[in-house]
A and B are shown apart, each in its own frame.
Chain A
Amino acid sequence: MLKFLFKGLVRDRSRSLFPILTVFIGVALTVFLYSYLNGFVSDMIKSSAHYNSGHVRIMTKAYSQESNQSPNDLAIIGIDPLIQNVEKSYPDMIWTPRIKFGGLIDIPDRNGETRIQGPVSGMAVDLFSKESRERKFLNLDESLVKGRIPEKPNEILIADDFARRLKVAPGDTATLLSSTMYGSMVMTNFVIAGTIRFGIAALDRGAIITDISDIQKSLDMNNAAGEILGFFKDDNFDSKKAYRIRDSFNEKYKNSEDEFAPIMGALPEESGLSDYMGLIDIASFVIIGIFIFAMAIVLWNAGLMGSLRRYGEMGVRLAVGEEKGHIYRTLILESIMIGIVGSFLGTLFGLIPSYLMEIYGLDLSFLFEKSSVMITGVLHADVTYETYLIGFIPGILATVLGTSIAGIGIYKRETAQLFKELEA
């Protein structure tokens, strides 16, 4: 019977072509939108993890309460034993300390007088250790515009836009005015090694990047750091694992009254993305729902027209002794075949632009110039194994739904009229 139905679909294009086309278009759009949304989320997660919160992040309890102000007076002291400890407890992860700091940068003229000043938001990371992956996480090599990456102490990178505003170039001297961990003012001279552009508006305005040991020295933070970030070794955020690690770490310090006791947070809350991530999940649902609805309506109508065209066939089948329920089920079976073929083609063609967008990206950075969200201006799609399956949900559901409604007419058909109908 299956073969019989299949032959009918293949030979009678009007039975298959239009429904397949409908499913094809709907599924291709679903797949593309889905991978686009996914890419949007995973871009946000990646940027947030790399530039801000890690996959998990350890701070002191006190620091965590005002972490957006980078209160280095509340930093973790004695980071080496803590890092050794977490490396042993959570061998799946890489741990790296960072210090965020604020202050003013002061550019002297030829006589050593202040020529221009600007507020900075600095980030001190491990640039020099062999095993450090910070250069990669911060995408420094690709973000470099002029000069080079720091190679020795007291060299810094400065955001290219910021450098233009300050009219400085690699090789120039810059003085950082900031305060130590204990509150006293401090001035440190740096040499600008290179300029960078991250493509993230919030960072490109006033960022400087230094090696962490320079800042530890200059801000009097020996063996201290504001934050210790943890990254999964494969650099893919896994929320379940992250929460498990966070909970097991925090369990150890649960009863500590010490406001300098360490506490771990996971990316969704730390980055403020948890709402976004939930929203995107809902959006995917809504998109799929809309496509199911729209396609089902089109296919329902196609099914109605099809049943007019196939009125004679259904009549003969009833006369031969096929049951109404059986005819109805074969129609559904046909629709499933159509759904599978349409979904397959739609998925194939939806994946092509998705892959292209995953590889090449779509540069919309001009839209984000004023934004403070940690998002790269280049949009990517993200094709996951779910992308291969997601289109089949609306594809098959819509055809089955549309056909189910259209096919109800079968039940209303009077067998009593068959001879007369089939005479006509």
Chain B
Amino acid sequence: MSNSFLIRTEKLYKKYPMGPTVLVALDNINITINKGEFVGLVGPSGSGKTTLLNIIGSLDSPTEGSAEVLGNKIETLSHQDAAKLRNNHIGFIFQTFNLLPVYTVYENVEFPLLLQDIPPAKRIELVMQALEWVGLADRKDSKPSQLSGGQSQRVAIARAVVKKPELILADEPTANLDAKNSHNIMETMVKLNEELDTTFIFATHDEKVMKYLKRKITLNDGYVQRDENISLNNQ
């Protein structure tokens, strides 16, 4: 393939009808994200961060324009193909962790693999590996209710990375965490990004995490206000 990009949006719009007017949540977004990038979407509340993540994650589709993710045109994907794309290639991390309360840490992390027909021995290996990455192998039999917020978010990260996806999307992953845990989480993500070459995109307005970003895309009222490559600037 000549184009090595992972994600490319072209003239991407998301519009919501609001009574007589139209609310433009995403306004002509043209960005390209390559494999292995560590990107933050920043901007004030209502600027369209979640909306953009939703579209990249195939949870939503654009009103106009195009979003190509891992060779799939999001605007043309069927329900089933979107599910398949998420299942095989994309991991999600949420602000509120969203672990399944009746299952153990181990089972929560194993769940995405159950959808992929991976043989049991291989599953054990992958789950333990993911738990070691996030430093929770010794808590594998705990229930989510027995974990702290930071630990819960690390389990959620393990769940997102266990299938070794090309892309991980995180919406405000540190919003519910204190400073120490926020740094810990960001360090874990940076490590995964460097060791596995996983592409990370997250939405945030948490000042604490800004210094970890290698690229910062600032949204304002739905359009890209700034797109800066921090690691290059700092070198």
Does B179 belong to the interface (CB within 8 Å)?
no
**Please, which residue of chain B has its CB at the minimum distance from the CB of A318?**
B83
Q: CB distance A321 to B50 under 8 Å?
A: no
- Nearest-CB distance from A416 to chain B (Å)? 4
- Stretch in B33-41, B65-73, B91-99, B189-197 touching the partner: B91-99
Q: CB distance B102 to A320 under 8 Å?
A: no
Q: Which 8 A-B pairs have the closest CB atoms?
A: A321-B87, A321-B86, A416-B60, A323-B83, A11-B102, A12-B102, A422-B94, A415-B59
State the interface size on chain B (CB cutoff 8 A): 34
- Nearest-CB distance from A133 to chain B (Å)? 63
- Stretch in A147-155, A161-169, A309-317, A377-385 touching the partner: A309-317
Contact for B111 among A12, A320, A323, A325, CB less than 8 A? A320
Does B157 belong to the interface (CB within 8 Å)?
no
Q: CB distance A323 to B114 under 8 Å?
A: no
Give every chain A residue within 8 A of B59 (Cβ-Cβ).
319, 415-416, 418-419
Q: CB distance B86 to A8 under 8 Å?
A: no
Inter-chain CA distance A320–B92, complex, in Å, is 7
**Please, which residue of chain B has its CB at the minimum distance from the CB of A420?**
B50
Give every chain A residue within 8 A of B90 (Cβ-Cβ).
321
- Nearest-CB distance from B203 to chain A (Å)? 9
- Nearest-CB distance from B223 to chain A (Å)? 20
Does A324 belong to the interface (CB within 8 Å)?
yes
Give every chain B residue within 8 A of A323 (Cβ-Cβ).
79-80, 83-84
Q: CB distance A423 to B92 under 8 Å?
A: no
Does A363 belong to the interface (CB within 8 Å)?
no
- Nearest-CB distance from B160 to chain A (Å)? 9
Does A7 belong to the interface (CB within 8 Å)?
yes
Given known contacts A319-B86, A321-B90, A419 and B100 CB-to-CB distance under 8 angstroms: no
Given known contacts A319-B92, A320-B112, A419 and B85 CB-to-CB distance under 8 angstroms: no
**Please, which residue of chain B has its CB at the minimum distance from the CB of A319?**
B92
Inter-chain CA distance A415–B86, complex, in Å, is 12
Inter-chain CA distance A11–B102, complex, in Å, is 6
**Please, which residue of chain B has its CB at the minimum distance from the CB of A9?**
B102
Q: CB distance B115 to A320 under 8 Å?
A: yes
**Can you list 16 A-B contacts with CB-CB less than 8 angstroms, sorted by A residue number?**
A1-B115, A7-B103, A320-B111, A322-B115, A323-B79, A323-B80, A323-B83, A324-B83, A326-B83, A418-B59, A419-B50, A419-B54, A422-B96, A423-B95, A423-B96, A424-B96
Does B221 belong to the interface (CB within 8 Å)?
no
Does B107 belong to the interface (CB within 8 Å)?
yes
Does A366 belong to the interface (CB within 8 Å)?
no
Inter-chain CA distance A12–B59, complex, in Å, is 29
Inter-chain CA distance A4–B50, complex, in Å, is 31
Q: CB distance A321 to B112 under 8 Å?
A: yes
Q: CB distance A322 to B83 under 8 Å?
A: yes
Given known contacts A323-B79, A324-B79, A422 and B53 CB-to-CB distance under 8 angstroms: no
Residues facing B in A312-360 (CB within 8 A) are: 312-313, 315-326
